[in-house]
Structure 1
Amino acid sequence: MTKLLLSIHVLASILVVGPIAVAASMFPRYARQTAGEDGHSVGATVLLHRICSGYAIVGVAVPVFGIATGAQLGVLTDAWLVTSIVLTTIAAGILALAILPGQESMIESAAAAADGTGTGTGTGDGADTKRAAARLAGLTGVFNLLWAVVVVLMIVRPGSTTGA
């Protein structure tokens, strides 16, 4: 049973977190291009946001199967796993509370600009969009870095008996 849980956990990590990391990383680039009124970029940002938000919902499976695997292995109280859970929670919080809402806001701003219904609060040269995209890129970098640390912890497992 442990091997099955671990296999599902690893596959879910690769197939769910990977696409979120890639799509979230690509989003700011296309969002910056929307400042130049590129219709393809607006469509790309919508698609990348859908990937991020859709996979985020399915991404709940990663910690669920991870905790189930940890319980089967009897390592739920090990420092490396507790640290991984905390970092995963922080990464999920960044995604849910900052990245996804930031993407939605940028898409809404681009749609308003394309419709000519913008609020007029911007500088008119896309500087607001570029600043928001830069902020989003930074948040995405932190999100991806947190996942990289979690992966390293999962492989190295400080104090493990695997000799790694």
Structure 2
Amino acid sequence: MDQKDRQIITALQENGRLTNQELSEKVNLTPSPCLRRLRSLEETAVIKGYTAIVDEIAYGLPITAFVRIRLERHNEESVRLFERKVQDTDSILDCYMMTGGSDYLLRVLVESLEDYEQFVRSRLHVIDGIAAIETSFAYGTVKRASRFPRVHDRIRS
């Protein structure tokens, strides 16, 4: 991936609805090579898809919870079971494997505190092998970026 590919990605992260003509003008390429590069980025799964960024509150999911999970055991079966349950749970938007005191960090969206309680009781407590659940609630957002930071191309010798 070179700087031109990164320019294409940055432009699409700013506005994923750009036409190829608009994109090519933004990154200073003619339309044909721009489209070839874009298709290559899509085919190699550098660009994994396109989506709309939706306001959680306007959508009706005003509560964001960050849930730290610690597993009792770290064997293959316990990990696979937990990760499969996470994949099958719509309320969990993101799940990260972590270092430190927690094994996983989940980002969960719910309608209310009562819904969060129900989520914990019906979705998390039923998963075998969870040793601890700790929750923090976000009461505001300071920054939420959809654009990656700039990466400097390294000079290769």
Give the shorter-chain TM-score range. under 0.3
Task: Flag the structure with higher helix content.
Answer: 1
Larger % of strand: which? Answer: 2
The answer to which structure, 1 or 2, has the higher relative contact order (CA under 8 A, 6+ apart) is 1
Q: What TM-score results when the alignment is normalised by the length of structure 1?
A: 0.25
